[in-house]
């Protein structure tokens, strides 16, 4: 048996007081009338014997009552933990869920307020010498140390809702790390949360056997909620004044149908589109919003849902750039191709730069959304390597082979990209037989398609190896490729089976050539992400920039400013913000005093699914020997006391003390030391009581 407060055992010295009182009790004399004194000696002997028994029983009751009262203050317990040391400092880590879902209400109020109150109740059950760690989803540096109980209470009061969201395994690992570094013998872990089903809990939580894990689920209501999961623009290149199509993916996280959900699109704080949606239970819906009238420059977009009572995910931010011109690079053999020049020169939006294949600036390739390779007889190994890297970064390459192409060099470029390459020239006059109208290049190109369209023809063409793997644009009879596209990661390679030469084909003079080339250009390029996700841990891609000591790159919004880590990777600029950004919204990326780009950040949509694990499901996730789930209806104090001190005996001591006090009262009141003796036999005598 052990004691929580062994210092109270010094009070056992008070047991001497009843003994002293018993030994030196002042006796009072009482007159008793006797009619016959011949029984006096016998009466005195009988009374003395009964009196001694009564007094000893009373003394024993007093001693036992006082003993158990002192033991109750010393808090005895029987420990099942080997080597437990009474009064030893204990380290406790308490996680308070401060994610967006904790803003929801139940019959007792706000979940976050309840979680903070639970955290204080837990700390209150430990001793004054114990130390506590407060942990939230923010993983702040100030929460990586142990606090006294009063400091812990103050820290809990400062906890606020955050957009961060950590997996349960990350939380437990962080708590174990701190406890092991400060207390090799182990410690106690408490996690107070609503335990959403989407919190990536898919396996049993691994824990050190010396650390006790306690999950405290808060009772939350399953509320209806609809959120925007993702958005994307159909065109990668955006022209001033052109019509834009924004695809929106909505998700209904509730178990009942969401009807008449209004959605508004704002661009630069000006409403551009309005729609209303009905979404089936637990389903997603994809729809397209059309808008126009954009000017050149960075566009700040926001989608707003009206979805009560859950409002933390009703806004979704996006940003993109409308370029005044699109740079296109034309690589040729030194002689300008007049057909490509005429096609791209007809629209001032395209800014075509031309360079011979031997003078290509490889470091500047990434500033072009489209590279056109035409009439190049032999592709050098260096050019093939750089163009391959260019495509793999998500860019577009269009190839028109030379009349006398070195097919081996084309194979070196195209085979690693999964594209077909020219093998041999087939001299066979043929006319194209089919347009692939399902190809994105032909979307919205034709108002109506005639039954027998006039398609390009060829006098001779290159046989494209592996053509069946691509997405055809124009096909020859028998399914042979005339002009095809091939995906590689985020990039695309378009390969023509004919050079832009009248001796091979009339493609360059056909009415399809210019619109298809325009569509290739408009759908080309590596468009920057419309948005980024907070807390994902991934780098943020932005426009190519270089920071200097005088011009440092900064992200700022409403007076809040950070300096991200900047890295140059494969010709692009990537920012690493880690956990520096906490709030969703639109941030200005500044280089010096000028705005280089606008970046949109949104919260992770995992918080939007307001469905929760049951206590039974949570128990299955915990180790069988070092974890428990504390239900909402179970008093935290009793559970913690049982966990900390196993079998506690202080209540039993109080009960026994009361029993012996009652026994003392009963002995004094009801235990009689003698019967009535005939008063007529004794005239008078004196006896002690």
Would you say residue 620 has pLDDT above 70?
yes
Would you say residue 686 has pLDDT above 70?
no
DSSP string, 302-322: EEEE--SS--TTSEEEEEEEE
Position 681 scores a pLDDT of 40
Task: Please report which confidence band the pLDDT of residue 454 belongs to, taking 50, 70 and 90 as the band edges.
Answer: confident
Q: Give the tens place of pLDDT for each residue, 74-103.
A: 888 776 554 444 456 788 999 999 988 898
Q: Which residues contact 444 (CB under 8 A, 6 or more apart)?
A: none
The pairing of strands 350-356 and 297-305 is unpaired
Question: Do residues 167 and 131 touch, judged by C-beta distance below 8 A?
Answer: no
Question: Do residues 233 and 244 touch, judged by C-beta distance below 8 A?
Answer: yes
3-state secondary structure of 119: helix
The angle, 0 to 180 degrees and rounded to 10, between the axes of the packed helices 636-645 and 111-124 is 40
The arithmetic mean of pLDDT across residues 259-284, rounded, is 94
| Least-confidence region, from 5-9, 149-153, 264-268, 320-324 | 5-9
Q: Which domains does the chain have, with CATH numbers?
A: 2-80+665-688 (no CATH), 91-222+613-645 (3.40.50.410), 240-323 (2.60.40.10), 326-522 (3.40.50.880), 532-602 (2.60.40)
The arithmetic mean of pLDDT across residues 430-451, rounded, is 79
Q: Give the HSE-up count for residue 47: Cα atoms under 13 Å, Cβ half-sphere.
A: 15
CA-to-CA separations, 393 to 389, 486, 491, 497, 570, in angstroms, rounded: 6, 14, 7, 25, 8
Position 30 scores a pLDDT of 61
Q: Give the tens place of pLDDT for each residue, 95-154.
A: 999 988 898 887 778 899 999 999 999 998 888 888 999 999 888 888 888 899 999 999
The counts of H helices and E strands in the chain are 12, 37
Task: Please report which confidence band the pLDDT of residue 688 belongs to, taking 50, 70 and 90 as the band edges.
Answer: very low
Position 48 scores a pLDDT of 63
Q: How many CB atoms lie within 10 A of CB 129?
A: 11
Instruction: State what percent of residues in the chain have pLDDT above 90.
Output: 39
The arithmetic mean of pLDDT across residues 179-188, rounded, is 73
Position 369 scores a pLDDT of 85
The angle, 0 to 180 degrees and rounded to 10, between the axes of the packed helices 381-392 and 407-414 is 30
Q: Which bin fits 148, alpha (ψ -120 to 50), beta or left (φ > 0)?
A: beta
As a whole number of angstroms, the distance between CA 353 and CA 343 comes to 13
Would you say residue 262 has pLDDT above 60?
yes
The arithmetic mean of pLDDT across residues 219-240, rounded, is 87
CA-to-CA separations, 399 to 443, 486, 533, 645, in angstroms, rounded: 22, 11, 36, 77
Position 50 scores a pLDDT of 67
Q: How far apart are the first and last CA of the chain?
A: 42
Q: What residue has token string 């590689």?
A: 488
Position 332 scores a pLDDT of 94
Higher-confidence position of 38 and 89: 89
As a whole number of angstroms, the distance between CA 246 and CA 324 comes to 20
Has this prediction a pTM greater than 0.95?
no
Task: Please report which confidence band the pLDDT of residue 188 belongs to, taking 50, 70 and 90 as the band edges.
Answer: confident
As a whole number of angstroms, the distance between CA 262 and CA 303 comes to 10
Element housing 638 (H / E): helix 636-645
Position 386 scores a pLDDT of 93
Would you say residue 383 has pLDDT above 90?
yes
Would you say residue 625 has pLDDT above 70?
no
The arithmetic mean of pLDDT across residues 328-343, rounded, is 93
The answer to whether the Cα torsion of 671, 673, 679, 685 is positive or negative is: negative
As a whole number of angstroms, the distance between CA 236 and CA 394 comes to 11
Q: How many CB atoms lie within 10 A of CB 619?
A: 14
Position 499 scores a pLDDT of 95
Would you say residue 493 has pLDDT above 80?
yes
Would you say residue 591 has pLDDT above 80?
yes
As a whole number of angstroms, the distance between CA 561 and CA 581 comes to 9
Would you say residue 436 has pLDDT above 90?
no
Position 224 scores a pLDDT of 86
Position 204 scores a pLDDT of 58
Position 585 scores a pLDDT of 94
Position 78 scores a pLDDT of 75
Position 670 scores a pLDDT of 81
The arithmetic mean of pLDDT across residues 323-333, rounded, is 92
Would you say residue 300 has pLDDT above 90?
yes
As a whole number of angstroms, the distance between CA 600 and CA 528 comes to 11
Higher-confidence position of 86 and 460: 460
Max mean pLDDT range (19-23, 26-30, 330-334, 661-665): 330-334
Q: Which bin fits 37, alpha (ψ -120 to 50), beta or left (φ > 0)?
A: alpha
Position 23 scores a pLDDT of 76
Residue 223 burial class via C-beta count within 10 angstroms: exposed 0-12, middle 13-18, buried 19 and up: middle
The arithmetic mean of pLDDT across residues 40-45, rounded, is 57
Q: Is the peptide bond before 309 cis (omega within 30 degrees of 0)?
A: yes
Higher-confidence position of 643 and 327: 327
Position 239 scores a pLDDT of 87
The arithmetic mean of pLDDT across residues 358-377, rounded, is 90
DSSP string, 418-471: T--EEEEEEEEEEE--EE-TTSGGGTTT-SS--SS----EEEEEEEEETGGGSE
CA-to-CA separations, 190 to 119, 361, 468, 506, 619, in angstroms, rounded: 8, 59, 59, 75, 14
Would you say residue 447 has pLDDT above 80?
no
Higher-confidence position of 263 and 17: 263
As a whole number of angstroms, the distance between CA 397 and CA 524 comes to 8
Determine the Cα angle at 119 with ends 129 and 140, to 5°. Answer: 90
Would you say residue 679 has pLDDT above 70?
no
Instruction: State what percent of residues in the chain have pLDDT above 70.
Output: 85
Sheet bearing 91-96, strands edge to edge: 131-135, 91-96, 187-193, 211-217, 627-629
Question: Do residues 113 and 176 touch, judged by C-beta distance below 8 A?
Answer: no
Position 134 scores a pLDDT of 93
Q: Give the HSE-up count for residue 424: Cα atoms under 13 Å, Cβ half-sphere.
A: 3
From 444, 440, 443, 435, select the one nearest 492 (Cα to Cα): 440
Position 683 scores a pLDDT of 40
3-state secondary structure of 105: strand
Extract the tokens encoding 275. Answer: 């729609």
Higher-confidence position of 684 and 185: 185
Widest distance between CA atoms in the chain: 159
Position 394 scores a pLDDT of 82
Max mean pLDDT range (258-272, 465-479, 512-526): 258-272
3-state secondary structure of 383: helix
């Amino acid at each position: 048996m052990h004691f929580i407060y062994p210092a109270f055992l010094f009070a056992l010295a008070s047991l001497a007081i009843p003994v002293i009182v018993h030994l030196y009790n002042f006796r009072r004399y009482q007159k008793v009338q006797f009619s016959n004194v011949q029984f006096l000696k016998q009466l005195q002997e009988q009374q003395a014997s009964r009196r001694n028994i009564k007094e000893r029983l009373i003394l024993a009751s007093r001693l036992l009552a006082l003993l158990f009262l002192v033991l109750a203050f010393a808090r005895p317990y029987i420990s099942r933990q080997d080597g437990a040391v009474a009064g030893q400092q204990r380290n406790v880590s308490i996680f308070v869920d401060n994610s967006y879902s904790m803003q929801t209400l139940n019959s007792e109020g706000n979940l976050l307020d309840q979680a903070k109150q639970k955290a204080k109740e837990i700390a209150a059950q430990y001793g004054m010498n114990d130390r506590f760690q407060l942990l939230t989803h923010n993983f702040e540096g100030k929460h990586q140390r142990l606090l006294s109980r009063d400091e812990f209470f103050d820290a809990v009061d400062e906890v606020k809702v955050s957009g961060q969201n950590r997996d349960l395994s990350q939380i437990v690992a962080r708590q174990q790390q701190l406890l092991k570094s400060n207390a090799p013998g182990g410690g106690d872990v408490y996690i107070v949360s609503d335990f959403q089903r989407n919190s990536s809990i898919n396996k049993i939580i691994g824990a050190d056997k010396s650390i006790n894990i306690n999950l405290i689920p808060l009772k939350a209501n399953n509320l209806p909620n609809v959120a925007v999961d993702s958005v994307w623009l159909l065109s990668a290149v955006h022209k001033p004044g052109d019509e834009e199509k924004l695809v929106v993916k909505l998700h209904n996280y509730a178990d009942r149908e969401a009807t008449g959900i209004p959605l508004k699109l704002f661009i630069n704080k000006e409403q551009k589109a309005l729609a209303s949606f009905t979404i089936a239970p637990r389903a997603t819906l994809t729809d397209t919003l059309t808008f126009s009238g954009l000017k050149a420059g960075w566009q700040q977009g926001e989608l707003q849902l009206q979805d009560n009572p859950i409002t933390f995910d009703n806004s979704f931010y996006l940003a993109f750039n409308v370029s005044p011109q699109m740079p296109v690079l034309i690589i040729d053999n030194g002689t300008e191709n007049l057909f490509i020049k005429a096609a791209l020169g007809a629209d001032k939006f395209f800014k075509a730069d031309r360079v011979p294949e031997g003078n290509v600036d490889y470091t500047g390739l990434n500033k072009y959304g489209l590279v056109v390779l035409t009439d190049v007889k032999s592709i050098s190994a260096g050019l093939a390597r750089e163009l391959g890297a260019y495509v793999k970064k998500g860019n577009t390459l269009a190839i028109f082979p030379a009349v006398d192409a070195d097919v081996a060099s084309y194979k070196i470029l195209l085979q690693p990209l999964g594209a077909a390459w020219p093998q041999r020239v087939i001299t066979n006059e043929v006319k194209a037989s089919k347009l692939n109208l399902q190809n994105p290049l032909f979307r919205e190109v034709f108002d109506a398609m005639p039954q027998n369209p006039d398609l390009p023809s060829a006098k001779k063409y290159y046989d494209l190896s592996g053509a069946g793997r691509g997405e055809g644009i124009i096909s020859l009879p028998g399914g042979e490729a005339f002009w095809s596209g091939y995906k590689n990661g985020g990039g695309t390679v378009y390969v023509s089976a004919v050079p832009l030469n009248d001796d091979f084909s009339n493609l360059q003079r056909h009415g399809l050539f210019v619109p298809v080339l325009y569509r290739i250009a408009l759908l080309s390029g590596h468009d920057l992400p419309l948005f980024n996700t907070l807390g994902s841990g991934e780098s943020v891609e932005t426009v190519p920039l270089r920071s200097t000591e005088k011009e440092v790159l900064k992200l700022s919004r409403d007076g809040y400013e950070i300096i991200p880590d900047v890295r140059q990777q494969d010709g692009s600029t990537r920012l690493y913000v880690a956990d520096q950004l906490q709030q969703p919204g639109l941030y200005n990326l500044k280089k010096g005093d000028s705005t280089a780009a606008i970046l949109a950040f949104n919260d992770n949509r995992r918080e939007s699914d307001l469905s929760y694990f049951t206590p039974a499901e949570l128990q299955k996730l915990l180790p069988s020997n070092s974890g428990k789930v504390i239900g909402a209806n179970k008093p935290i104090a009793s559970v913690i006391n049982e966990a900390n001190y196993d079998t506690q005996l202080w209540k039993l001591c109080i009960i026994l003390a009361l029993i012996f006090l009652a026994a003392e009262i009963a002995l004094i009141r009801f235990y009689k030391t003698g019967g009535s003796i005939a008063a007529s036999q004794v005239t008078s005598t004196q006896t002690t009581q």
